[in-house]
Amino acid sequence: MSILDHNALSAIMTGATHVLDMGGKQAFLYYEDERRAHMLLPDGTRRHGEWRLTAEGYEVDWQGGPSAAWKLDRRAGGIDYLDTTGTARGRLARIEFGDSAGLAA
């Protein structure tokens, strides 16, 4: 287990779309800038909210939805998104620069 720190996260998140593999289905997270985030879940749910980096992860507050804390864990074969219990909820499939999924619109 190698949790990515604040500096690594800043480099791979801000201004990028993360495409997550969630058991064969894809979710998209676009970190528009240092404050705004957008998400599209496999079931079609869209969320917009505010996020902020922490020492070993990030926290997000979705409008009309939950707040959550996440860590990104570099493991053999990829990077997993871990919830607060340390459970992997998705694997980073790829990083695309910009709003490649049109989430901010």
Instruction: Provide long-range contacts, Cβ within 8 A and 24+ apart, for 33-37.
Output: 36/104
Q: Per the confidence metrics, is the pTM higher than 0.85?
A: yes
* 2 touches 8 (CB < 8 A): no
Could you report the per-residue pLDDT of 54-71, keeping only the tens digit for each? Answer: 988 999 999 999 999 999
Helix (H) or strand (E) holding 10: helix 6-13
The structural domains of the chain, with segments of one domain joined by +, span: 2-96
What are the Cα distances from residue 10, in Å, to 14, 16, 33, 40, 71? 6, 10, 10, 21, 13
CB-hemisphere CA count at 13 Å for 66? 5
Could you report the per-residue pLDDT of 66-85, keeping only the tens digit for each? Answer: 999 999 999 888 999 999 99
CATH number of 2-96: 2.40.128
